[in-house]
Each structure stands twice: as structure tokens, then as C-alpha cells.
Chains A and B, each alone.
Chain A
Amino acid sequence: MDIATFVQIFESTLRLATPLLFACLAGLFSERAGIFDIGLEGKLLVAAFFSASIAYVTGSAWLGLAAGIGASVLFSLIHGVASITFRGNQLISGVAINFLAAGMTVVVAQSWFQQGGRTPPLVGDARFDRLSLPFANALHDVPVVGQIYGQILNQHSILVYFGLFCVPLTWWVLYRTRFGLRLRAVGENPAAVDTAGISVVRLRYAAIVIAGVLCGIGGAYLSTALAAGFVKDMSAGRGYIALAALIFAKWRPWHALGAVLLFGMLEAIANRWPNLDLGIITLPNQFMTALPYILTVVILAGFVGKAIPPRAGGEPYVKER
């Protein structure tokens, strides 16, 4: 294995981690506000479909992105109505949202494009271009810096950079703003927030709308940047891996970045070497696919620290009378 291979692996790690990152941060906002979000998967999927189809029709990836965000936020609001307004079971609502997205995308895709549940391939401006970072070419041959800046970080779509920017942004919003403090409080002790005269319902709706926007960007990235068009079930469990990453990160933004990079790298390695020969044993592709889930179970088993979710997670808030 030479350096070029490592560079390639890291480069595709970053690409594959991006949809996970958006979904994971979405889950972070939602769960920190006390709303479990099993529906990340469905929101990614529905956003991927609507952004690909609108991008195809209009020829603009940006309009596609807007449509993807719109669809994802709409699904978030359905989750909100069920779990905040009507105090329904958040897990059941999330499951329903995932199925709704899985069925809806295929049925609508078939009706619009008649291509067996996919959109036509996207070309030109309907996709997000890869960007060249400033000075990347000049630095290309400098050792270390050239490989990291000129090759691994360079030539990604703008959404990848925006995803990376969202990590400090999320940290800042959660830990350095009044809104963030209240958001975290509403996930731990909604009664206290309510006593302080702040609306629990409004805060929780704000959190799930943010989650919808982030999932929307992640889904749009899947179909208009990572791939060129929508195919049936293209989120392929990424929403669940993001959920796993969230537990892995113990609901913290910087750790979330670490977790999705780890899971992205597993995917990159599995793509590169379908059967990984470690000398002693050969790991089959299927093992690499299952590894994020296995690692999460190990974390949950408490072998590596303890993952404690926000205390009020999953509980509908009932105002005292």
C-alpha cells in the first residue's frame, strides 16, 4: 500500500462521510431537544428524490437543493405534528416516516419519469460541481500539505465544505448561544424550561425544522453530488448509520464529525477492497458493511464508556395544570 492509496481512501472517506455528517447533525439537534428521530433515513431519501427530480426538470442543482430541503422539512413537520402536537410515540412516527419516504419516492418517480423508480441521469448544472480550492494546484507537489490540502480536501462539491463548516457552527449554536442553551435544556428538563416562561413546543419545532434542513442538504448531496440522479432506496441505511454515529459521538458535534469520518472510512475501505486480506484472515465485504452497526452495539454495551442520551428524549411534554 503506497501513499497514493491512502490519499485516495481519505479522499473518498470525506465524500462518503458527508451525507452521514448532515444526517448526524440533524439527529443531534432533534435529539438534544428531546425528540427521537428514527426518521433520518426517510428524510434523506425523500430529499434525495425531490432534489434530483427538480434538478433534472429545471437543470439547476441549487433549485434541486431547495426542493430537497423543502421535502425534508415537510417530513420533519409531520414528525413534529405527530410527536409534539399530538404527543404520539416518536419512534412509531419515525418508522412511519421511513416507510412513507421509501414508498412515496418510488411511486412518484415511476409516475413522473417511468424509469422503474429512478430519475433520469443528471448532467451539467443539474449536479453540484467539484470545486478547486485556492492555491491547490500550486501546493499539489508539496509533501504532506500538498497531499492533505491539494488532494484530500480539494475537488469536492461545495456541500462537502458546507458540511464541515456545519460542525463548528453546530457547536457554536448549541454551546454559545441562548437558543442552544434552551435547546439543550428542553431535551434534559422541559418542565424547567417551561417554568422559565419559554415555549417547549416552539423550541422543539425549531429543532426539528433545523434537522429537516440538514437532512435535506444531506439527501440532495446524495443524489446531485455523490451520484448523478436518484435510484430506489439510495439512502441505503445511511440514516441509521448516522443514528449509530450519534450514539458513538454521545450527542456532541465534534465527536459526531469523528464518528462519521470513521464510518465513512469503513465504507471507503469496503468499496476499495471488497475482500480485505489482513494476512491472518480475510474479511468479507459483508463484514465491513456490518461493522458500523457492530461497533455501535459494542458502544451501547458499555465496553467503551457510557452513552447517555438526553434525559427527556422520547417523552412528550405535558404541561402541568
Chain B
Amino acid sequence: MKAMPKWADVLLVPLISLVIAFALSALVILAIGEDPIRAMELMVTGSLGSTYGWGYTLYYTTNFLLTGLAVSIAFQAKLFNIGGEGQAMIGGLGVALVCLFIPWPNWWLAMIAAILASALFGAMWAAIPAWLQAKAGSHIVITTIMFNFIAASLMNYLLSHVLRPTTSMDPATARFDNVLRLPRLHDILGLVGIDFSRSGPANIMLFIALAFCVLAYVLLWRTRLGFEIRAFGQSEAAAHYAGISSFKIIMVAMLISGALAGTMAVNSVMGGPQRLVMNAVEGAGFIGIAVALMGRSHPIGIIAPALLFGFLFQGGSELAIETSIPRDMIVIIQALVIMFTGALDNMVRRPLELLFLALRRRA
């Protein structure tokens, strides 16, 4: 018999962790001489108070949905993919190549091609660490970290020497053709008569990312492969005994994970600045870790945390404009969320379990 009911496990524990993380963040804000309540108000109005704010919040949410999903799928197979950052960078390369060198007649063909290319590139970047884990047994965490740095150097080189237009000093590609502009929420919601700000970059990729969440859920809980992935994640020995090939699961889970991280670039490159710039990923690969931990690595469970981090990301920018709190404040919040929902999980869980046991005994 489990010590806690399921709702407590999936909702209460992450919520309490979140409250602790936020309380500590408020203390940090107090310590640097700012008012946490006013900071919270500014963040809420800045990110949720207008359709302009929502346009950015949902744009970031899209990034975090995809990277969070990427980390989650790997987590389900008990693989810790820290390489989402690098995989998304290389995914951006795929998007840029497809958008720059093929004359697409319309945006949706280009988008499908960009999704496929970014997924392929991202998966490729995850393939070597996966293979090293599966064959040589070298730790995936170490190799994916190394691949993040290699990706950063590679993109740095390509953007400053190869893909940069000769007329420009900026290490970035040329702007994509205007035909390739993805429909934004302004265009989409305009169809049903909802007035939405023109400037927020949230675009059609939001719906595609949500669709990917549903697909991932179906894959994990409604297919044989998904069952094998979860079985492998629960117990490698048992999975082996059941005839599940560890090589296959490690490769498949990491390839899917890398592909999902790669597709994030379609949003952040094609949907955002419409050209590939240095640091197009902006740490979204790492935020995916926090999102996956909070969402208990469940494809549907990560939707709320992705929105939360979208809110924090946009709210944090507003905060940096309005107050003396730097944007890096959200990195602290992100760190605390990872710490309390991930590493210090037992600290929250144990007392709760004891509490529930005590309550049950009395009943």
C-alpha cells in the first residue's frame, strides 16, 4: 500500500516544493532591498496583464514545452539528458539551412520541412552520447554536457565564418524570406474574432507543441515502445529479463528526446527573430530540466510548469526593466525549483508521507 494518495504525489508534493522555492526567492529579493510583493505584481501585469505580455509568455512557453518534453521522455527511460541546449542549437542549424537555401512556396510547407530538419539535427546531436551510453557505458550526463559545449563552439564558428552574410558584422544568418513568417496568435485568433496583440511572437508552434505533448502521452502509455521505455526506466534488470533490448531503448529514447529539443528551434528561430542568431536557445534546454522535474516527467503534466516558466521568463524581463532586479533573478528561481522538486524531493515527501500515514491510522 502506498503511503500517499496519488493526488498528493503528483500535485501536493510539487506544489509545496514550488512554494518553498518561491518563498526563498522572495527572501533573496528582500535581501537585495526590493519589495517581493511589488515584484510579483509587476511580473503578473508584465506577462499576463495584456495580450502583448501573453504573446511573449506563450512564446517562451512553447520553447519550454518542447525542451521539457525532451527531458521528460529521456527521464522516463531513466536517462538524464542535459544536452537539450546543444540539441536545440543544432536543431536551429537545421531550421536555418532549410529556410535559407530552399525557396519554399509557402510557410506551412517550410514549417513542416523545418520541423523535420530540426528534429533530425537534434536527434543526430543526441545520437553520439546515446550510442556511447549504450555501447561504452559512459555516463550520458557527462557526454551531453560535453556536446553542449561542442555545439556552442560549432555554432559560434558557423555563424561567424560560414553562414554570416558578407555585408554583416553580426554573427547571425541573413533574415529568412518573408513568405516563411509563421502565423502568430494575432493572425490565428483573428480568424475567430479575438483581438490579440500583433507584436507578441507566440505562433502556431504553440499548438504543435501541445499536440506533441498529446502524441508523447500516447506513445508512452498506449504503445508497446512506450511501455518498453517506461519498463526500462523503472528497472533495467527487469526490462532485460523481459527481453527488452537496452541498446534499443537508450537509442530510441535519446533520439526522440534530441528530436524534440531540436524542434524547439522552429519556434525560437522561425517564429521569433526569423534568422539564426548566436544563443538562439537562451537556456531553454536547461529550463526543460526544471519543467520536466515539476511535471513529474509526464507529457501532460509538464504543460502547467512550462506555462509557469513562460510566465517567469517574460515577467523576469519586465522586472529587469521596471526595477533594479536583474533578469538573472529567474535563474535563481529556476535553480531553486530544480533543487526542491528534483534533488530535495525526499525532504518534502517524507514528512508528508508520515502525515498521511498518521491521518489514516486515526481514521
Contacts and interface: CB of A to CB of B under 8 A. Distances in A.
Given A95-B289, A99-B331, A287-B157, A237 B149 contact: yes
Given A107-B28, A297-B128, 20 more contacts: A36-B141, A38-B141, A86-B344, A88-B345, A92-B342, A95-B289, A97-B335, A99-B286, A99-B331, A100-B335, A103-B329, A117-B326, A284-B157, A286-B154, A287-B157, A290-B153, A293-B146, A297-B146, A301-B138, A307-B138
A93 B146 CA distance: 19
A300 B132 contact: yes
Contact of B339 (A36, A82, A110): A82
Nearest to B145: A240
Given A82-B344, A100-B336, A284-B161, A91 B150 contact: no
21 contacts: A36-B141, A81-B344, A88-B344, A88-B346, A89-B80, A89-B342, A92-B80, A92-B289, A95-B82, A98-B335, A99-B331, A99-B332, A103-B328, A103-B329, A104-B335, A110-B32, A111-B33, A240-B145, A300-B136, A300-B143, A302-B138
A244 interface: yes
B328 A117 contact: yes
Interface string A196-226: 0000000000000000000000000000000
A102 B331 contact: yes
A245 B345 CA distance: 31
Interface residues of B, number: 47
Contacts of B252: none
A82 to B, nearest CB: 4
Contacts of A106: 326, 328, 331
B346 A290 contact: no
A83 B145 CA distance: 20
B142 A243 contact: yes
Contacts of A157: none
A297 B326 CA distance: 36
B325 interface: yes
A91 B146 contact: no
A247 B142 contact: yes
A88 B334 contact: no
A102 B343 contact: no
Interface in A218-256: 237, 240, 243-244, 247
Specify the main secondary structure of chain A where it touches its partner: helix
B143 A110 contact: no
Specify the main secondary structure of chain B where it touches its partner: helix
Contacts of B328: 102-103, 106-107, 117
Nearest to A104: B332
Interface string B275-294: 00000000000100100010
A170 interface: no
Given A92-B293, A95-B289, A107 B342 contact: no
A110 to B, nearest CB: 5
Interface string A282-305: 001011011001101100111000
A297 B127 CA distance: 13
B347 interface: yes
B197 interface: no
Contact of A100 (B149, B286, B332): B332
Contacts of A100: 332, 335-336, 339
B330 interface: yes
A286 B331 CA distance: 27
Residue with the greatest number of chain B CB neighbours at <10 A, chosen from A83, A93, A247, A290:
A290
Contacts of B132: 297, 300-301
A96 interface: yes
A302 B143 CA distance: 13
A87 interface: yes
Contacts of B286: 95, 99
Nearest to A290: B153
B185 to A, nearest CB: 30
